[in-house]
Amino acid sequence: MKILSGVSLLLLLFLTSCYSFTGSSLSPEMKTVKINTFPNNAANNLPSLSQDFTVALQNRFLQRTTLKGAIEKPDLLIEGEISDYNITPTSIGSATTTTQGNTIQALQNKLTITIKVHYENSVDPTLSFDRTYSDEAVFNSDLDINTIETAQVKIVNERIINKIYNDIVANW
């Protein structure tokens, strides 16, 4: 019985050393990451978008990987820009009738954010890439845009960050 327990323990230790439960495909040589500020170059501008996106992306990598922040010569460099930020109507309807006729009003709006990402991997340069990520959120137009915009931006940012993280770390 003791031999079986010992063999089971050794097998468990061996299997644990072969598999990372973090889901990360980063090689052990990768120790540092630098994530530069993503400037907001979109025509429409939300003043806090650049800072909010950059900080959330930095937090994702620093909290969910063993990577440490670096200022010079990082193993991974992530930078880019916010290239589009738009709120557009997605469905319209007739709202009221006036003396001039029917007034058309948006029933739902769609927030779309597009981010261009430049990723450099100095450990394995074949994994480096330039990609564009975009996502959106639809919300009712009867909601106050000043109240709902921050929440919708957070949702869209989170989705884009998930895509970036998965492409770099999970390599799915």
90-115 pLDDT tens trace: 876 655 555 566 656 668 889 999 99
Residue with tokens 């439960």: 21
Q: How many Å apart are CA 9 and CA 22, to the nearest integer?
A: 22
Element (H, E) at 113: strand 101-121
* 103 or 4, higher pLDDT: 103
Neighbours of 47 (CB within 10 A): 8
Model pLDDT for residues 18-34, shown as the tens digit of each residue:
444 344 678 899 999 99
Residues 6+ apart with CB under 8 A from 141: 89, 105, 106, 107, 108, 109
What domains does the chain contain, in order, with CATH numbers?
25-170 (3.30.160.150)
CA count, 13 A, side-chain hemisphere, 155: 12
Tracing tokens 């003043």 back to the chain, one arrives at 47
DSSP characters over 114-139: EEEEEEEESS-GGG-EEEEEEEEEEE
13 confidence band (pLDDT: 50, 70, 90): very low
Between CA 172 and CA 161 the distance in angstroms is 15
Q: Kindly indicate the confidence band of residue 36, based on its pLDDT and cuts at 50, 70 and 90.
A: very high
Q: What is the mean pLDDT of residues 50-73?
A: 96
Q: 84 versus 91: which is more confidently predicted?
A: 84
How many CA atoms does the CB half-sphere of 114 hold within 13 Å?
11
Token pair, residue 65, equals: 């990987």
**What pLDDT is stored for residue 90 in this prediction?**
83
Answer whether residue 123 shows pLDDT above 70.
yes
39-48, 49-58, 60-69, 110-119: the lowest-pLDDT one: 39-48
Residues contacting residue 113 through CB under 8 Å, at least 6 positions apart: 49, 82, 84, 85, 134, 135, 136, 153, 156, 157, 160
